[in-house]
């Protein structure tokens, strides 16, 4: 999906969805040259928002980042599809698997980055979710237990070499022996560590944060259905002020009441992630998946393993749809919802990576079509990379 051709000089006026102020975008030859606030009494202007950033995405629209048969062209195709949904930065997420398959997958993603400059710009890094997670039922989720193990820096370095240094985030369980040293190593090498798929206790979480862990992966998920009243891992994560909380707000993974509690507790440390699988963008039905066998996607976009009814196996909504859910359920305003999927994430990344910038370089121009957000144009690194056909 390539950019359409603009007129040589063009100005687009819209409303900043976060600040509520009017802004004018000035283009020359398809390049954004300036953004200025302005007074506007015009009605029905489109909205302008920062590019959406997805830290956890396993696949999209039939393309699976965890299928060993993944090709570089698949990653390119997925990137342009995500751009059409307003996602200008993302981390393809590779989950627990054999060392051989993890190396193969991250190398394929790295190769795709080398093949297309837009793809390289969109993929800020790779998220490796596992294999250093808890093997306990409930905590391990749909991850294959036979590949789960204690954190090992040498193994991780093997993954990183295959990824060309592109791994920027890893999810792990800090209760493993050796976890603290592993987190410190990651911190030294500018790799973000997120606590997830874990049954760590209060002391283990506090120690992980002190060592450099800065996020919590899909808070409220990947824990057993029954937890001690208190203390428990959910309270401990919310109590750690330094931790950013990632939420899957698809209306399926966690209820609205929990989302509200996390947003009130974490404030600008609340981040939205999709945890989307290859089934996001696909119609309801049964699908064969290389992980878990037969997967069922229902009409509400719930993804579950046929062999384990009720066990969620990822998500089937994009980050844009997660923003829609918050707005339509009146859990947050449009500006607040968009901010949690863009600006909050950008500030977190910039705090940990001084090379990350996301001011006026990545923008999304959109309208509301009923309850749906309709993306009109997407700008990546000041260049138009998507425009909806009229």
Q: Would you list which residues are annotated within the binding site for Zn(2+)?
A: 129, 197, 218
In the chain, DSSP finds a helix count (H) and a strand count (E) of 11, 21
CA–CA separation, 242 vs 267, rounded Å?
A: 12
Q: Residue 169 belongs to what H/E stretch?
A: strand 167-172
Residue 118 burial (CB count, 10 A): 19
CA–CA separation, 204 vs 54, rounded Å?
A: 27
SS3 95: strand
CA–CA separation, 362 vs 103, rounded Å?
A: 30
Omega before residue 21 within 30° of 0, cis: no
Binding residues: 129, 142, 197, 218, 221-222, 229, 253, 312-314
Strands 167-172 and 126-129: parallel
Residues that are catalytic: 275
Count of alpha carbons within 13 Å of 226, Cβ hemisphere only?
0
CA 280 from centre of chain: 13
Which residues, 6 or more positions from 56, have their beta carbon under 8 angstroms from its beta carbon? 91, 93, 127, 129, 217, 218, 246, 273, 274, 275
Which residues, 6 or more positions from 44, have their beta carbon under 8 angstroms from its beta carbon? none
Count of alpha carbons within 13 Å of 110, Cβ hemisphere only?
17
Binding residues for substrate: 142, 221-222, 229, 253, 312-314
Which strands form 312-315's sheet, in the order they lie side by side? 285-289, 293-297, 302-305, 312-315
Buried b (16+ CB within 10 A) or exposed e, 2-12: ebeebeeeeeb
**Residue 252 main-chain phi, psi, to 5 deg:** -120, -45
**Do the Cβ atoms of 86 and 126 come closer than 8 Å?**
no
């Amino acid at each position: 999906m390539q950019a359409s051709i603009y007129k040589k000089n063009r100005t687009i006026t819209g409303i900043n969805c976060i600040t509520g102020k009017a802004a004018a975008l000035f283009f020359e030859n398809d390049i954004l040259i300036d953004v200025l606030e302005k007074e506007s009494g015009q009605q029905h202007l489109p909205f302008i928002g920062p590019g959406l950033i997805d830290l956890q995405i396993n696949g999209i629209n039939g393309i699976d980042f965890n299928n060993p048969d993944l090709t570089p062209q698949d990653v390119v195709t997925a990137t342009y599809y995500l751009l059409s949904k307003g996602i200008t930065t993302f981390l393809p997420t590779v989950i627990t698997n054999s060392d051989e398959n993890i190396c193969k997958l991250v190398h394929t993603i790295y190769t795709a980055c080398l093949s297309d400059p837009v793809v390289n710009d969109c993929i800020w890094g790779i998220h490796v979710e596992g294999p250093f997670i808890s093997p306990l039922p409930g905590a391990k989720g749909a991850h294959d237990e036979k590949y789960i193990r204690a954190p090992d820096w040498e193994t991780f370095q093997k993954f990183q070499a295959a990824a060309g240094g592109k791994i920027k985030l890893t999810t792990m369980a800090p209760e493993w022996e050796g976890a603290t040293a592993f987190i410190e190593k990651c911190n030294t090498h500018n790799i973000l560590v997120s606590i997830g798929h874990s049954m760590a206790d209060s002391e283990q979480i506090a120690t992980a944060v002190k060592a450099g862990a800065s996020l919590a992966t899909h808070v409220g998920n990947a824990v057993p259905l029954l937890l001690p009243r208190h203390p428990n891992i959910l309270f401990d994560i919310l109590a750690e002020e330094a931790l950013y909380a990632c939420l899957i707000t698809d209306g399926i993974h966690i209820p609205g009441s929990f989302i509200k509690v996390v947003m009130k507790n974490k404030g600008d440390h609340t981040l939205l992630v999709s945890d989307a699988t290859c089934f996001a963008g696909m119609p309801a039905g049964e699908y064969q998946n290389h992980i878990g066998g037969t997967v069922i996607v229902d009409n509400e976009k719930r993804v579950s393993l046929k062999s384990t009814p009720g066990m969620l196996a990822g998500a089937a909504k994009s980050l844009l749809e997660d923003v829609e859910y918050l707005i339509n359920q009146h859990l947050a305003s449009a500006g607040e919802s968009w901010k949690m999927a863009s600006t909050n994430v950008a500030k977190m990344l910039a705090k940990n990576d001084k090379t990350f910038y996301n001011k006026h370089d990545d923008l999304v121009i959109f309208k509301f079509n009923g309850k749906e957000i309709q993306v009109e144009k997407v700008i990546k690194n000041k260049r138009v990379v998507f425009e909806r056909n009229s």
